Amino acid sequence: MQPTPTAQRYIPRMLAILFVTLLAALTMATFSVSSAHADEVGTEFDFTISGNVQFNGDALDGVAIAVDGNGYQADTVTDTEGRWAIGVPEKGTYEVTLDEETLPKGVVVAKGANVINAEFGLTDRKSVNFFLGEDTRNTVSFFDQFVNRFVNGLNFGLLLALAAIGLSLIFGTTGLSNFAHAEMITFGALMTLVFAVQLGLPIWLAILIAIALSGALGWGLDAVIWKPLRRRGVALIPLMIVSIGLSLALRYLFQYFFGGSTSQLPGAGQTDLKFGPISLSPIDLISMGISVVVLLGVAYFLLRTRIGKATRAVSDNPSLASASGIDVDNVIRIVWVTGAALAGLSGVLWAYFRPGVSWDMGFQMLLLVFAAVTLGGLGTAFGALIGSIIVGLFVELSTLWLPSDMKYVGALVVLILVLLFRPQGIMGRKERIG
């Protein structure tokens, strides 16, 4: 739904027309977030060769692709989503070439595989995909890859845990499965983008402001939506559906204001430092450090402070906690503020990990957060931490065996398997019926 910046500059008028048509088409078609190519050639033909150039799940744009065969030649470049498509006049065999010169630094096509002979099958479309690798790939042993992925997975698990603990605390104290948690994650990253890039503040200050604003968002959502709904005695499943509506509304509100493109936070994409087999960027190291410190802080808060204990008491049994003199509403308010602030921080770290800030980045991560919380046992904060680390490790380590575009599949399959054998989660208690 988003044009490439260059295209927008050169042909604004045509684009306006294109988008009106696109909107009309969308109404008749469907709500899909990704759609047409900005740069298609040969659209006048019935048959299309297309593909998607990605490396480790990141789309590569501006990669030149050429098609040659049956007396026809055409070339194109990939769009921001890494996609390309070339229309061809007839079915048959074509030679598809990827121009290695146009690949970003450090990415290569497997030896001799930059030319592929594509033959149409029964369909009118033919997908051609190139297998890309890291420049150094051949020299890395399996063990080294494993260690490297492991550390990456730990990093991902830790940032996942920041979001998961908030979600788990909210579930524990209010019973709400909050789908809008995804947007609280995105919000943190977007606010950092606004203050660091658009307003030019130092990054540490921008992050602090973003976290504070996230906390304020959590407070506001509780005060404006959730507390009144609790007062009305709205049941849990309607509440969950309200959170789905809120999630949709906020997500498209973000897209409304920030557009569909991906932006980078300052400092992203720094060169990796080498620690034996492990290559990490300074940002990764800082990210892991921040996660560990904050998680320790949360643990201290829950175990040692008065309000933290009250939180656990409310999680266990709200009516009993209320009867023993705990201000349940206050506890829930604090949980919302803390949960939202943690989600915001998680969003910032996620923006560096992916890397990039986009309007639906939180939603991309939400299912993994839910998986982590369920794995650990619904409503237990420490379970959420363990669940997150497991999910994080699983996602990263599975890329050793699975193609990287299937890395989430493994984590989700594990979720279903765990529920099959231990429905209460790893840390959860067995339920009593009757």
Which positions from 191 through 250 interact with another protein, judged by CB under 8 A? 225, 229, 232, 234-238, 240-242, 244-250
Is there binding between residue 251 and another protein (CB under 8 A)?
yes
Sign of CA dihedral 161, 163, 169, 171: negative
At residue 163's C-alpha, the angle toward residues 160 and 168, to 5°, is: 115
- Report how far apart, in Å, the C-alpha atoms of 244 and of each of 3, 108, 222, 366 are: 28, 42, 15, 12
Is there binding between residue 406 and another protein (CB under 8 A)?
yes
Distance, CA of 118 to CA of 121 (rounded, Å): 9
Q: Which span (26-34, 68-76, 291-299, 348-356) binds another protein, by CB under 8 A?
A: 26-34
Is there binding between residue 34 and another protein (CB under 8 A)?
yes
With beta carbons less than 8 A apart as the criterion, state whether 336 and 215 touch: no
Give residues 54-73 in contact with another protein (rule: CB under 8 A).
54
SS3 (DSSP) at 348: helix
Is there binding between residue 432 and another protein (CB under 8 A)?
yes
Give residues 352-371 in contact with another protein (rule: CB under 8 A).
363, 367, 370-371
Q: Which of 13, 31, 142, 276 binds another protein (CB under 8 A)?
A: 31
Total of residues contacting another protein (CB under 8 A): 92
- CB closer to another protein out of 12 and 289: 12
Give residues 97-136 in contact with another protein (rule: CB under 8 A).
121-125, 127, 129
- Report, in Å, the least distance between residue 244 CB and another protein: 5
- Report, in Å, the least distance between residue 152 CB and another protein: 20
Q: Which span (15-23, 136-144, 194-202, 281-289) binds another protein, by CB under 8 A?
A: 15-23
DSSP 374-427: HHH-TT-HHHHHHHHHHHHHHHHHGGGTS-GGGHHHHHHHHHHHHHHH-TT-SS
- Report, in Å, the least distance between residue 210 CB and another protein: 22
Q: Which span (69-77, 207-215, 388-396, 415-423) binds another protein, by CB under 8 A?
A: 415-423
Q: Which span (140-148, 339-347, 383-391, 412-420) binds another protein, by CB under 8 A?
A: 412-420
Is there binding between residue 30 and another protein (CB under 8 A)?
yes
Q: Is the peptide bond before 266 cis (omega within 30 degrees of 0)?
A: no
With a CB cutoff of 8 Å and minimum separation 6, the contacts of 343 are 162, 163, 166, 167, 181, 184, 185, 187, 188, 214, 218, 362
Distance, CA of 280 to CA of 149 (rounded, Å): 10
Give residues 253-312 in contact with another protein (rule: CB under 8 A).
253, 255-256, 259, 306, 309-310, 312
DSSP 29-89: S---SS---SS-B-TTSSEEEEEE-EETTEE--S-EEEEEETTEEEEEE--TTSEEEEEES
Q: Which span (204-212, 251-259, 269-277, 350-358) binds another protein, by CB under 8 A?
A: 251-259
With beta carbons less than 8 A apart as the criterion, state whether 326 and 313 touch: yes
Site string for another protein, 156-175 (x = CB under 8 A): --------------------
- Report, in Å, the least distance between residue 216 CB and another protein: 20
- CB closer to another protein out of 54 and 346: 54
With beta carbons less than 8 A apart as the criterion, state whether 234 and 176 touch: no
